[in-house]
């Protein structure tokens, strides 16, 4: 039964450490990028098309 108490204490400590790491990351602004995700989906197709056109051109030459 004492093993359960030890595991419970360790899991609470690990959860607190991850929560503190999350709070520090939020305060440093790691999750503040709201512009890139909305624009990324607009340019992914163009990058794929450019890569496919280059491979087709090199194969024909």
Q: What is the pLDDT of residue 17?
A: 98
Per-residue pLDDT for 60 more than 70? no
Number of structural domains found in the chain: 1
- Per residue in 1-55, pLDDT (tens digit) is 899 999 999 999 999 999 999 999 999 988 887 777 677 777 766 555 555 555 5
Distance from chain centroid for Cα 6: 32
pTM for the whole structure: 0.52
Q: What is the pLDDT of residue 33?
A: 75
Per this entry, what is the length of the chain? 61
Identify the domain containing residue 20 by its residue range: 2-60
Q: What is the pLDDT of residue 35?
A: 75
Q: What is the pLDDT of residue 41?
A: 72
């Amino acid at each position: 039964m004492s093993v359960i108490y030890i595991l419970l204490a360790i899991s609470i400590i690990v959860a607190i450490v991850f929560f503190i790491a999350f709070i520090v990351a939020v305060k440093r602004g790691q999750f503040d990028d709201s512009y890139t995700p909305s624009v990324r989906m607009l340019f992914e197709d163009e990058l794929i098309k450019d890569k496919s056109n280059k491979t087709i051109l090199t194969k024909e030459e």
